[in-house]
Structure 1
Amino acid sequence: MRALAFLLLLGTPALAGDASGFDPAAIDQCLDAAETQGARADCAGTGMDACLDYARQKYTGDDPDFPMANCLDASHQAWEAKLTAVYQAALEAADPPEPLRRMERSWIAFREALCEGAGDLARARCIRDETARQVALLMSLADLR
């Protein structure tokens, strides 16, 4: 049923992102706006409202959690891509890079333990939120932007 629901979401997305309706550019816009103001905002949930509006319009199935699950997955994937890019830039700036590698491995274990045991949606939200926080932390530590 979920596969069919996903296929129903395919088509022309409402935003510049993927077929989920999530726009990954919203992440950069939030981070840029926060930096302009001299602070790091909590950008974890950015883009979710537009994604949920889009998903609820497109999805006609009987699973009430599908739009949220779809948008959390799309948001998490966008944050993971951002984390990978920021981590690579931080590694290049680190001298030596090994402490950063150890920190990142420890953080992954921390994130998994923190989010373990939650229900599907709560776990997805937890992982997404912790990934967003790690992006902000790495950006601050490496003075990236």
Structure 2
Amino acid sequence: MKAIALVCAFVAAPVWAQDLPYSDIATRECLETASDFAAREACIGTSADLCMATPEGGTTYGMNGCLDRELAFWDKVLNQNYQIRMADAKARDADVGPTLGVQADALRDMQLAWIAFRDAACEFERSQWQGGTGGGPATIACMLELTGRQALVLGRVDR
């Protein structure tokens, strides 16, 4: 009977995590009112924090779900900003010709190096939990923080 209850708990957990009270609204509103880069950077984690402050979001499963949902938000922003930045780089490269046009390649190489850095940094974060249950939320929180910041860097227009 105990084994069946454990199996049911693990099977039900992902379904339960789908019922988290998560919304991107707080993060979006924060970004809309932010006056500069530092203020936009402070918006990272806003929606996940609100979600984790609820009873459903306060468990390890809930924290993972809340953090992962905001990570998905920032990952989408990052990909949109990267595509815009890449199109701009390719246009600039075309303007200066093939011998001087290196912005698109440099952007691609920078982003690939950043992905490797993010993954390694967040794996280090996980390692500090030595296999404990906090390693999951800590890893996702790291991914969220670094992805959000990179999304903002790629979308930065006040250079």
TM over 0.5: yes
Runs of 4+ in 1 over 6 A off after TM superposition: none
Q: Which runs of 5+ in 1 are unaligned?
A: 11-18
Give the TM-score normalised by the residue count of structure 2.
0.69
- Counterparts of residues 8-47 of structure 1 (less than 5 Å): 8-10=16-18, 19-34=19-34, 37-41=35-39, 42-47=42-47
Distance 1:27 1:90 in 2: 22
Change (3 A) 1:72 1:88: same
Shift of 1:71: 0.4
Shift of 1:109: 0.6
Give the TM-score normalised by the residue count of structure 1.
0.74
Choose from 141, 144, 148 the match for 1:128.
Answer: 144
Q: Secondary structure at the match of 1:122?
A: helix
Distance 1:49 1:93 in 2: 34
Q: Which runs of 5+ in 2 are unaligned?
A: 1-8, 94-103, 127-134
The residue that corresponds to 2:12 in the other structure is 4
**1:78-126 deviation per Cα after TM superposition (whole angstroms, max 9, x unaligned):** 1111111111111112223221111111100111111113122211111
Q: Secondary structure at the match of 1:85?
A: helix
Change (3 A) 1:64 1:87: same
- Counterparts of residues 44-123 of structure 1 (less than 5 Å): 44-54=44-54, 56-57=55-56, 64-94=59-89, 95-96=92-93, 97-117=104-124, 118=126, 119-123=135-139
**Do the aligned residues in 2 keep the contact of 1:79 with 1:128 (CA within 8 Å)?**
yes
Distance 2:78 2:10 in 1: 28
Change (3 A) 1:2 1:135: farther
Count of residues in correspondence between the two structures: 127
Pairwise CA RMSD of aligned residues? Answer: 2.3
**Do the aligned residues in 2 keep the contact of 1:86 with 1:135 (CA within 8 Å)?**
yes
**Do the aligned residues in 2 keep the contact of 1:31 with 1:40 (CA within 8 Å)?**
no
- Amino acid corresponding to residue 151 of structure 2 in structure 1: V
Aligned residues: percent identity? 30
Distance 1:22 1:49 in 2: 9
Change (3 A) 1:123 1:80: same
Q: Which has the larger radius of gyration?
A: 2
Tell me whether 1-10 or 73-82 shows the greater mean CA deviation.
1-10
Q: Which structure would you say has the larger RCO, counting Cα contacts within 8 Å and 6 or more residues apart?
A: 2
